[in-house]
Chain A
Amino acid sequence: DAGVIQSPRHEVTEMGQEVTLRCKPISGHDYLFWYRQTMMRGLELLIYFNNNVPIDDSGMPEDRFSAKMPNASFSTLKIQPSEPRDSAVYFCASSPQLGQGGYTFGSGTRLTVV
């Protein structure tokens, strides 16, 4: 398996633009997670899905952020409009189940909003 695949690896955009981050989880993993990593706040859970359904989005910072999972092999995290404070590394992870470890993280997308 190729692991969790994220794209793009790097994204530089201007303030106010829409940004879409993409993730392909490991086949057969029923859970998908979006995390954000910053120097100030460390690694934070934004949202997670179970079988394509959003279960907990309490970590999404504000309405400018949205996430979708239209099918078992694809998820997007969208920021519209983007702001400089959104600059961070965004990680996607997948897991076959909860409570048993088994998390696999993607390589992350480094987002810079100028």
Chain B
Amino acid sequence: GIQVEQSPPDLILQEGANSTLRCNFSDSVNNLQWFHQNPWGQLINLFYIPSGTKQNGRLSATTVATERYSLLYISSSQTTDSGVYFCAVESYDYKLSFGAGTTVTVRA
């Protein structure tokens, strides 16, 4: 199956800081999604982004499909941004493969 690697595995931020999370994948994919798992375990769909750039408030994402990577940007981080961010790629048989996640801790 497709290998999905996320970096860094852990990230500690001071409130107000900016950060970039990276997702590399090993093969061509049908699409790519970013999820946030909050400290209560709920998985929230952030972006559906097979290519290009999207923005949603303080979050934005860019996928360069030809180079097999995606980036998630968090600007002016807040404590509510804490949690685990997952990249998930959908192969052409429509199966989602998740990366191991980046654990983000935002300190006040």
Please report A residues at the B interface, Cβ cutoff 8 Å: 33, 42-45, 56, 89, 91, 93, 98-105, 107-108, 110
Complex Cα distance, B31 from A100, in Å, reads: 8
Contacts of B95 on A, CB cut-off 8 Å? 45, 56
A91 touches B48 (CB 8 A): no
Q: What number of A-B contacts does a CB cutoff of 8 Å give?
A: 48
Contact indicator B90/A91 (Cβ below 8 Å): no
Among all A-B residue pairs, the 8 with the closest Cβ atoms = A101-B48, A105-B43, A43-B98, A98-B94, A99-B30, A42-B100, A101-B33, A108-B41
With A42-B101, A43-B86 known as contacts, the answer to whether A103 contacts B41 (CB < 8 A) is no
Q: Which residue of A lies closest to B100 (CB)?
A: A42
The residues of A that contact B48 with a CB separation of less than 8 Å are: 100-102
Knowing A42-B101, A43-B98 are in contact, say whether A103-B86 is a contact too (CB < 8 A): no
Question: Once the chains are docked, how many angstroms separate the CA of A101 from the CA of B90?
Answer: 9
Chain B residues in 8 Å Cβ range of A110: 41
Q: Most A CB atoms within 10 A — which of B44, B45, B93, B101?
A: B45
Let me know if B2 is at the binding interface, CB within 8 A: no
Bound Cα distance from A56 to B40, whole angstroms: 29
Interface of B, helix, strand, loop or mixed by DSSP: strand
B96 at the interface (CB under 8 A from A): yes
Out of A91, A101, A102, name the residue touching B43 (CB < 8 Å). Answer: A91
Q: Determine whether the beta carbon of A99 is less than 8 Å from that of B90.
A: yes
Query: Chain B, 80-101, contact with A by CB distance < 8 Å: what is the 0/1 string?
Result: 0000001010100111111111
Query: Is B56 an interface position by the 8 A CB rule?
Result: no
Q: Is the CB of A103 within 8 A of B33?
A: yes
Nearest CB on A from B86, distance (A): 7
**Complex CA–CA separation, A103 to B40 (angstroms):** 19
Known: A33-B96, A43-B88, A108-B42. 8 other contacts (CB 8 A): A42-B101, A44-B98, A56-B95, A100-B48, A101-B45, A101-B47, A107-B42, A108-B41
